[in-house]
Amino acid sequence: MPTKAVQAAINDQIAMELESAHVYLSMAAYFDENNLPGFSHWMRMQYQEELGHAMKLFDFMLDNGGHIVLKALAKPPSQFKGALAVLKETLKHEQKVTGAITQLYALTVPEKDYPAQILLQWFISEQTEEEKTVADIIAQMKMVGDSGSGLLLIDQHLAGRAAAAQQA
Ligand code: FEO
């Protein structure tokens, strides 16, 4: 069973993943409202992924005798300043999540919590992937432009995002 400190940190991380889902759902709504269905689709997929991350931690806790404590979620932003600004905010958010996962992993090392470390290694790889994916979109947007036909091109590209497998 994870120590009390690790359990508390995992419960915090579950809240962070659910908050991430909330932020991305709000961004999806913004894109729908602004006639960018591809961006909205991408954010809806991201929302689903974050729910998956939260549930992965949730199930790990329950499978290992931990106690789940759900928390109130912060209100996500509902005003955004354009598609590029949203993607930049997404990257910043993911970098914050990466920092939290890294801290959580560091906490499990002196505790010798090997099962948690195995789970968190998946999250560390996932964060690398998430940051890279968002950084690539930002780079492409900078190439083709954040308005007009360039923006529509990216929108069409993002419409093709498939749901990621949630296997560890
Ligand atoms: Fe679950 Fe995108 O971090």
How many Cβ atoms sit within 10 Å of the Cβ of residue 75? Answer: 10
Q: Whose CA is nearest to atom 2 of ligand 1?
A: 94
User: What is the 8-class DSSP label of residue 165?
Assistant: P
Distance CA 15, CA 104 (A): 13
> What pLDDT does residue 147 have?
84
In this structure, which topology does domain 4-159 adopt according to CATH? Ferritin (1.20.1260)
> ∠ CA(92), CA(33), CA(17), 5° rounding?
35
> What pLDDT does residue 162 have?
79
Relative to the CA of 49, which ligand 1 atom is closest? 1
Query: What's the chain's length in residues?
Result: 168
Mean pLDDT by 10 residues, the chain (168 residues): 95 98 98 96 97 98 97 95 96 98 97 96 96 96 89 92 60
Helix (H, G, I), strand (E, B) or coil at 109: coil
Which residues lie closer than 8 Å to 82 by C-beta, 6 or more apart?
146
> What pLDDT does residue 168 have?
39
DSSP for 105-162 reads HHHHTTTT-HHHHHHHHHHHHHHHHHHHHHHHHHHHHHHH-SSHHHHHHHHHHHTTPP
In whole angstroms, how far apart are CA 159 and each of 2, 19, 54, 146?
A: 40, 24, 24, 16
> What pLDDT does residue 161 have?
80
In whole angstroms, how far apart are CA 160 and each of 10, 38, 46, 134, 141?
A: 33, 8, 13, 15, 16
Q: Cα of 17 to ligand 1 centre, how many Å?
A: 6
Distance CA 75, CA 22 (A): 8
In this structure, the residues whose C-beta lies within 6 A of any atom of ligand 1 are 17, 20, 50, 53, 94, 97, 130
Annotated domain spans of the chain = 4-159
pTM of the model: 0.93
> What pLDDT does residue 167 have?
42
CB 16 within 8 A of CB 97: yes
The tokens of 87 are what? 């993607």
> ∠ CA(51), CA(166), CA(3), 5° rounding?
70
